[in-house]
Amino acid sequence: MFDQHLWRQQLIDYLEVFARHPHQEVQLAGSPGVVPHLALRTLTPFMNALYDNPVDAIVTLATITHDAGANLLVSRMIRTRYPTALDIERNLRASTDLCITVERLMIELQTIPIALRNLNARRGFWLRSTIERELDAYPWSFVWIRDLLRELNGQDRIEALRRLRSRNGRYTSGDLTLIEKALSDAAAQTRAYAARLLGVMVDTPPPTLTHRLLDVALRDSDAETRFAAARTIGLLRERIITGDALAYIESHLVHDDSFFRSSAALVLGQLGEHAGKPTVVQRLCQLLCDRDAYAREAAARALGRIGPPAALPQVIEALEQTTQDDDVQVHEAATDSLALLRQYAELSVQAAA
């Protein structure tokens, strides 16, 4: 009896053969591409069952999908007993409904994950990148497969990043390329992991990587990722914070979006005394009156972490006023920083005496 389990098992049997020489398999079959080739191989068990046991075949198809494309698929399979991959490609290009049905089948039967399971890293990369490139010819379809590929790429990338821990911060140029790409990954977990890896780097990161790290710390949509990047910037501050880099961070303190203002204050706090530029301290004081509570809290904490360069009468006065803030987090941040800066101010007076 033909059912979904048998369908998947027959697909697995073929994909084990496919994994031996995937590129050669596609060429020998005369397929115009990997996508139509895998689509044909996904459909082959159903096509055979449709002639041997049509009732079971149609019932099994209906358990996966019973949309308009499924009806079209059955009619096309009855009309063409042995379609080629080229026939499949033409049909996919001609019908969005058929694309949706074939995609559902490939997702439900796990065609791509099964194919990748038996491939080594090099061949797996070839398969994923080839599918991604070919899908550009179907801009209106295959959304689920695109999402699946992004997920699979993310899993591979995080595993590759984990292996870099054994480098103990001594990264090759290839490692740095991987880290830079990971900083732009769709998964926040991957971006944060890449940022943390840079924090233990022995050498100075290249300028392009430094700028990307700054953008992650200042503009990433995920709070944990922003903090991971800001923390790494703090760890590397002697090596990466130039006058231009500090000016770039400072410019975000006056951004129209409070999200960027608070992110900039967080980064400056991680820099400590390296952020003690007079204009930075002045703008952080102005940020204590920001309409956004997160920005006020970040500014208050940053001033305390900057330390001696911020231990000025006007800063202490501004923090004293901020301790009256209605927001509890802002109040606590201002109180903590005020205590620190008063200590620095007293030490400065004692040293002068």
Q: What average pLDDT is seen over the chain?
A: 91
Between the alpha carbon of residue 155 and those of residues 106, 113, 163, 186, 301, the distances in Å are: 20, 12, 13, 11, 36
Percent of the chain residues topping a pLDDT of 70: 97
Given pLDDT bands bounded at 50, 70 and 90, which one contains residue 266?
A: very high
pLDDT in tens, 172-226: 999 999 999 899 886 788 899 999 999 999 999 999 999 999 999 999 888 899 9
pLDDT in tens, 131-167: 999 999 888 889 999 988 887 776 777 888 999 999 9
Domain coordinates in residue numbering, the chain: 4-141, 162-240, 251-353
Which position has the higher pLDDT, 221 or 321?
A: 321
**Confidence (pLDDT) at 62:** 93
Non-local (6+) Cβ contacts of 34 within 8 A are: 22, 26, 127, 130, 131, 134
**Confidence (pLDDT) at 82:** 83
Q: How many CA atoms lie within 13 A of 49 on its CB side?
A: 21
Between the alpha carbon of residue 98 and those of residues 42, 71, 130, the distances in Å are: 14, 9, 21
Amino acid type, 131: I
Asked if pLDDT for residue 350 goes beyond 70, the answer is no
Length of the chain (residues) = 353
Q: Taking Cα atoms as reference points, which of 318, 289, 278, 284 lies closest to residue 301?
A: 284
Beta strands in the chain (DSSP E): none
Amino acid type, 349: V
CA distance 258 to 262: 6
**Confidence (pLDDT) at 121:** 66
DSSP 213-226: HHHHHHH-S-HHHH
Class of domain 162-240: mainly alpha
Q: Which CATH superfamily is domain 251-353 in?
A: Leucine-rich Repeat Variant (1.25.10.10)
Helix (H, G, I), strand (E, B) or coil at 109: coil
Please tell me what DSSP assigns to residue 20: T
pLDDT in tens, 241-259: 999 999 999 999 999 999 9
**Confidence (pLDDT) at 67:** 86
DSSP 113-166: HHHHHTS-HHHHHHHHHHHHHHHTT-TTS-HHHHHHHHHHHHHHHHHHHHHGGG
**Confidence (pLDDT) at 291:** 96
Given pLDDT bands bounded at 50, 70 and 90, which one contains residue 117?
A: confident
Amino acid type, 169: G
pLDDT in tens, 17-35: 898 889 899 999 899 999 9
pLDDT in tens, 44-55: 999 999 999 999
Percent of the chain residues topping a pLDDT of 90: 71
